[in-house]
Chains A and B, each alone.
Chain A
Amino acid sequence: MSKAEIKSPLPGMFYRRPSPDSAPFKNDGDSVSAADVIGVVEVMKSFHEVTAGIDGKAIRFLVDDADAVMAGQALAEVEA
């Protein structure tokens, strides 16, 4: 079973939910398809969606909601 990482394209704050009261975009164990949004990165007063980029099953997040992230940092891994 190969694993692939989903990396943050940007530095900023990573959020797993579209708004504080919403459910997370994805939970650990969910399947993902390439176009699925898995979170947003806040930087320069705007929010940028992060898409999975690959199809896979069983996503597992490597960072918490509202964590500071660097560009290129792995946000989650999925079993391809």
Chain B
Amino acid sequence: MVVRVLNPGLSTTVQDLGRPGYFHLGIPIGGAMDRLALRAANLIVGNDEGAAGLEAVFVGPQLEFTRDALIAVTGADMPIKLDGEEKPSWTALKVRAGQVLSFGFLQTGARIYIAIAGGIDVPLALGSRSTYPIGALGGFKGRAIAKDDELPVGNAAGGREGRSIPEALRRRPGMPAELRVLPGLYWHRVTEETHRNFFDDQWKVAPEADRMGYRFRGGRPLQFVERDQPFGAGSDPSNIVDSCYPYGSIQVPGGTEPIILHRDAVSGGGYFMVGTVVSADMDLIGQLQPNTPTRFVKVDMDGALKARADRAALLDRIRSVFA
């Protein structure tokens, strides 16, 4: 069976849980920006958690189903319509052959995840079906879906209509969004005043935010500790001798606008990093719209590991709904 794309939305890509293991070669992990939402959508329709679904940012696609199917939409709040009739989110929905799935205006959040029982059955590329558009790798022909594409869907395994995930288990960013940050190796490069300001200030998401990185503005510029720039580093105080960039690392070119590297990150470069967003909060970033007020919250390693354990416990509770 195939799903026909009547309208792709703004940028809708096939994503699974990504392709770990190639970042040292410059190929990022990719995959769903909000992995918990994709896992949840898959569980609802009876798929493996890591099956490929569709990630649509800000604008939902319009899709025609050529056969009966079971689907679920999770993530951002965006009215879901089947042949124009509104349907619940985070719930297994029966779609009949010929029906059209469409969406209203985005309300809160940034990205929806559409899981179809059987999963999107595009070929594996380096072990994943995720689309890395800049590298023309994976997904549907290495790119975002386009009008008239026919997306192949695998054989469904036994999901049931009407199953859903309770409201309390749907994780969303708060307002303002709070992202926990572990200060990093270059923390000594900025002044004590900046150590305080960075966490005291309210930032907001800049319109440049995308799958590679989320940019923020609105906080006070960072002040650097004076030094003679070492051999190999650029002349700006925010430059370092080239280094690896972790996922979630926060670089601040010129000391003005922090950029959090996300799933489609570049793997290294010459900007200092103030710290790293804890892995447990990376999903939340994927649900931030432009202009969302955001605070960075300082944690130590124990705090980061606690956040990771809490998120794992939440996932276990979601799994237990379908056990």
Residues of A that sit less than 8 Å from B by CB = 7, 9-13, 42-45, 48, 68, 70-72
Contact = CB atoms under 8 A, between A and B. Distances in A.
- Of the listed residues A42, A48, A71, the one surrounded by the most CB atoms of chain B closer than 10 A to its CB is A71
B164 interface: no
A42 to B, nearest CB: 5
Given A9-B59, A12-B207, A13-B207, A43 B106 contact: no
A12 to B, nearest CB: 5
B208 A7 contact: no
Contacts of A72: 104-107
A61 B207 CA distance: 22
Interface of B: 10-11, 57-59, 104-107, 110, 207-210, 289-291
Given A10-B59, A13-B290, A44-B210, A71 B106 contact: yes
Contact of B289 (A7, A11, A45, A48): A11
Given A71-B58, A72-B106, A72-B107, A44 B209 contact: yes
11 contacts: A10-B58, A11-B106, A42-B207, A43-B58, A43-B290, A44-B57, A68-B290, A71-B105, A72-B104, A72-B105, A72-B107
A44 B11 contact: yes
B207 A70 contact: no
A9 B207 contact: no
Q: Which 4 A-B residue pairings sit nearest by Cβ, starting from the closest?
A: A72-B105, A71-B106, A44-B210, A68-B291
